[in-house]
Chains A and B, each alone.
Chain A
Amino acid sequence: MSEAGDRAIPTRIAETLDRMGRSAVGGIAEVGLGAILLWQSVYWVVLGRHREQPVRMAATFERCMEVGIRALPIVTMLSVTMGVMFAIQGIYTLRVFGAEEQVTIGLGISIVREFGPLLTGIMVAGRTGSSLAARIGTMRISQEVDALEVMGINPVRFLVAPALIAMVVMVPLLTLWADLMMLTGAGWYVSVDMGMSFAAYTQRIIDVVEIDDLMHGLSKAFLFSILITLVGVINGANVKGGAEGVGRMTTRSVVLSISAIIVTDMIFAFITTRS
């Protein structure tokens, strides 16, 4: 190998290590920023009124409408479809063992503990997390965030806290709705395919699903709502370079939110099934 080539290899290794180091530091900084944003949001929610700077209720209500009510049609449609799909796959698999009668156990527990919160989280990340990142990113490049600061209005209280409250309230409620719609879709298919009455299916689901299962799912939905908000806000706040930057960070926000949801889901399931 030539002398120039020998010199190039250590340089490339150094550059790769440099890039990895910068990425790692950037990632840690983002986690730190997320923790600060969460702490400040909680601070303003709890102490804002005491400091005569309450979190805006009108904005929080508007965010609730956006996160929850306006998401109902798509959540309903996809949840029913997924419910039917789970029923099809469940019956097909259990028929191999001649145990398709037991499909309601699998459906009830897996939907309430796993698929309801997961599907809702992914839909909210794609729909609301991305719009939150785009909104804050656009506000940043048009100096609206700077305007808030120089007006003496804390941007976290004004922008982040209403979004966080709306997500924490609405994502678990949407999850409950998604659970119900998935179970309804699955029940419809089970009645058609197996000739079981819908009332009998419902009774079996009620017998199988316990409050603990429901709380397991809702706890995950609560965690997902915080993750989606923080990832959206952090990516929006880091927008640079105009409209192209907004697009880039919006995409990054969706990818990171969904990744965070799936990893958190796995860790949560592991921890809560140990005891």
Chain B
Amino acid sequence: MSHAAEKRDDRPRPDLSGAPNVIEVKKLVTHYGAREILHKIDFGVREGEIMVIMGGSGSGKSTLLNALLGLLRPTKGSIHILGEDLTQISDVEKTLLRRKIGVAFQGGALFGSLNVLENIMLPLREHTKLDVNTMRIMARLKMQVVSLAGFEHLNPSELSGGMIKRAAFARAVVMDPKILFCDEPSAGLDPIVAAAIDELILNLRDAMGMSVVVVTHELESAFRIADRICVLDKGDILMTGTVDEIRSSTNERIQNLLNRRTETETLDPEEYLKRLTAAND
């Protein structure tokens, strides 16, 4: 079997089998209009774990992330984050819960009207009563952690793609969250910068002990950082397991994803003609 990527990081993966769940999703169903996107999803993320949600385009991974972040209201099911049911709590409780999570968006989502330091300081400004100098020190510390020291006064438009991701990570962890969500962290980056971002995610987890949820379709990145991988396909979870378990899976759809094979739908020409005629009527 040929794999798209091999594990490159030598650090041992922690044994988290007995750790409690910080995220617990039960029978989650979501819709966009009349279309059902996620079909009764069940999964959990353990404390201190890096969970990678992987799948191809249209698999529902972004929808799942939006539901986990409370940006999308699910049709059915429950999402418990740090013991709070996101589908039941009030807006005020949701705001308090959100102070305990950090999110690094795919494009960084840095505010163009603020420089890098101000962007990173923003959650501190909004949620703490610290004086400005303390906030600056805390933000600069996080900038050092993500190797962005010295770029405090640049605007987001002056940063490279990799630097934008680093700044987004610094802002996401500035409040020392218990859970970090990353949306496609290595998308659009060259392999060297992508590997550096993966290394950064591992470093952040090791240094801060947080749980990390990474949504990606990059196999190489997923295998490098994941403690466990949850494979989504067409709104269903195909499998959740360790990197080795996923690699050795005999499930055809997982193997297709790992080997980047496309699933071709066989279509009877007469059937196709009937469908066309019906559509024109």
B77 is an interface residue with CB less than 8 A from chain A: no
0/1 string, B99-127, CB within 8 A of A gives 1: 10101011101111000000000110011
A152 is an interface residue with CB less than 8 A from chain B: yes
Contact B109 A152 (CB under 8 A): no
Which of A139, A142, A146, A151 is close to B122, meaning CB atoms less than 8 Å apart?
A151
A144 is an interface residue with CB less than 8 A from chain B: yes
Q: In the complex, A149→B73 CA distance in Å? A: 14
A105 is an interface residue with CB less than 8 A from chain B: no
Q: What's the nearest-Cβ distance from chain A to residue B261, in Å?
A: 31
Q: From known contacts A150-B69, A151-B122, A152-B99, infer whether A144 and B111 are also in contact, taking CB-CB under 8 Å.
A: yes
Contacts of B70 in A (CB 8 A): 149-150
Contact B71 A151 (CB under 8 A): no
B154 is an interface residue with CB less than 8 A from chain A: no
Contact B127 A146 (CB under 8 A): no
Contact B109 A144 (CB under 8 A): yes
Nearest CB in chain B to that of A146: its residue: B71
B96 is an interface residue with CB less than 8 A from chain A: yes
Contacts of A53 in B (CB 8 A): 126
- The number of residues on chain B lying at the interface, defined by a beta carbon within 8 Å of a beta carbon of chain A, is 23
A153 is an interface residue with CB less than 8 A from chain B: yes
Q: In the complex, A153→B98 CA distance in Å? A: 9
Q: What's the nearest-Cβ distance from chain A to residue B73, in Å?
A: 13
B280 is an interface residue with CB less than 8 A from chain A: no
Contacts of A52 in B (CB 8 A): 129
Q: In the complex, A138→B109 CA distance in Å? A: 11
Contacts of B106 in A (CB 8 A): 143
Q: From known contacts A152-B127, A153-B126, infer whether A146 and B105 are also in contact, taking CB-CB under 8 Å.
A: yes
Nearest CB in chain B to that of A51: its residue: B92
Contacts of B105 in A (CB 8 A): 143, 146-147
Q: What's the nearest-Cβ distance from chain B to residue A44, in Å?
A: 13
Contact B109 A146 (CB under 8 A): yes
Q: In the complex, A146→B105 CA distance in Å? A: 9
Q: What's the nearest-Cβ distance from chain A to residue B84, in Å?
A: 13
B95 is an interface residue with CB less than 8 A from chain A: yes
Which of A143, A150, A152 is close to B107, meaning CB atoms less than 8 Å apart?
A143
Q: In the complex, A139→B156 CA distance in Å? A: 13
Contact B98 A152 (CB under 8 A): yes
Q: What's the nearest-Cβ distance from chain A to residue B166, in Å?
A: 16
0/1 string, B206-226, CB within 8 A of A gives 1: 000000000000000000000
Contacts of B98 in A (CB 8 A): 149-152
Q: Which of B95, B109, B127 has the most CB of A within 10 A?
A: B109
Q: What's the nearest-Cβ distance from chain B to residue A99, in Å?
A: 54
Q: In the complex, A9→B123 CA distance in Å? A: 58
Nearest CB in chain A to that of B66: its residue: A146
Contacts of B96 in A (CB 8 A): 152
Q: What's the nearest-Cβ distance from chain A to residue B213, in Å?
A: 12
Contact A142 B126 (CB under 8 A): no
Q: In the complex, A123→B123 CA distance in Å? A: 36
Q: In the complex, A149→B126 CA distance in Å? A: 12
A128-165 with Cβ < 8 A to chain B: 138-139, 142-144, 146-147, 149-154
Q: What's the nearest-Cβ distance from chain A to residue B147, in Å?
A: 22
Contacts of A143 in B (CB 8 A): 105-107, 109
Contact A150 B101 (CB under 8 A): yes
Q: In the complex, A147→B168 CA distance in Å? A: 10
Q: In the complex, A143→B99 CA distance in Å? A: 18
Contacts of B107 in A (CB 8 A): 142-143
Contacts of A147 in B (CB 8 A): 103, 105, 109, 111
Contacts of A152 in B (CB 8 A): 94-96, 98-99, 123, 126-127
Contact B71 A150 (CB under 8 A): yes
Q: What's the nearest-Cβ distance from chain A to residue B205, in Å?
A: 19
Q: In the complex, A53→B181 CA distance in Å? A: 25
Contact A150 B103 (CB under 8 A): yes
Q: In the complex, A151→B127 CA distance in Å? A: 9
A37-88 with Cβ < 8 A to chain B: 52-53
Contacts of A150 in B (CB 8 A): 69-71, 98, 101, 103, 181
Interface residue ranges, B against A (CB under 8 Å): 69-71, 94-96, 98-99, 101, 103, 105-107, 109-112, 122-123, 126-127, 129, 181
* Interchain residue pairs with CB less than 8 A apart (29): A53-B126, A139-B111, A142-B109, A143-B105, A143-B106, A143-B107, A143-B109, A144-B109, A144-B110, A144-B112, A146-B71, A147-B103, A150-B69, A150-B71, A150-B101, A150-B181, A151-B98, A151-B103, A151-B123, A152-B94, A152-B95, A152-B96, A152-B99, A152-B123, A152-B127, A153-B122, A153-B123, A153-B126, A154-B95
Besides A146-B69, A150-B70, 14 other A-B contacts (C-beta < 8 A)? A138-B112, A139-B111, A143-B107, A144-B110, A146-B105, A150-B69, A150-B181, A151-B98, A151-B103, A151-B123, A152-B98, A152-B99, A152-B123, A152-B126
